[in-house]
């Protein structure tokens, strides 16, 4: 039975050194990722960016499994998840307002 994976579980599926790098990006910018919308036309709600990335990565898990059962794939699940995790990485800074970005930075400065 399939299940929906959290963003942390999906990052855990990445090979090193990408796993550590992506986990660090999430850790350092979690507040921003959880509050910013994902765009102006879709994923426009608060937290839409992280919902979009998590949904896309979950779809990738299913598609990789299904297509991999039908034919040999020239890329690993780790490769696919990495590309999807990074594909919209600029959006939190492009669609977030400056106040949200500063709050996210301040929440991380204690680390």
- 33-54 residue pLDDT tens: 999 988 888 888 898 999 999 9
Distance CA 111, CA 18 (A): 21
pLDDT of res. 32:
95
Instruction: Delimit the domains of the chain by residue range.
Output: 7-101
DSSP 6: P
- Predicted structure pTM score: 0.84
DSSP 102: H
Distance CA 63, CA 75 (A): 12
Q: What digits encode the pLDDT tens for the residues 75-110?
A: 999 999 999 999 999 999 998 875 555 555 565 555
């Amino acid at each position: 039975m399939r299940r929906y994976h959290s963003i942390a579980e999906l990052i855990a599926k990445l090979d090193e050194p990408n796993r550590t790098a992506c986990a660090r990006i999430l850790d350092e910018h979690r507040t921003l990722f959880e509050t910013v919308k994902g765009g102006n036309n879709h994923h426009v709600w608060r937290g839409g960016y992280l919902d979009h990335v998590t949904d896309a990565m979950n779809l990738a898990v299913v598609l990789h499994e299904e297509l991999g059962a039908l034919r040999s794939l020239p890329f690993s699940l780790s490769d696919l998840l990495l590309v999807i995790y990074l594909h919209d990485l600029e959006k939190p800074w492009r669609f977030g307002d400056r106040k949200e970005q500063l709050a996210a930075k301040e929440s991380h400065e204690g680390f």
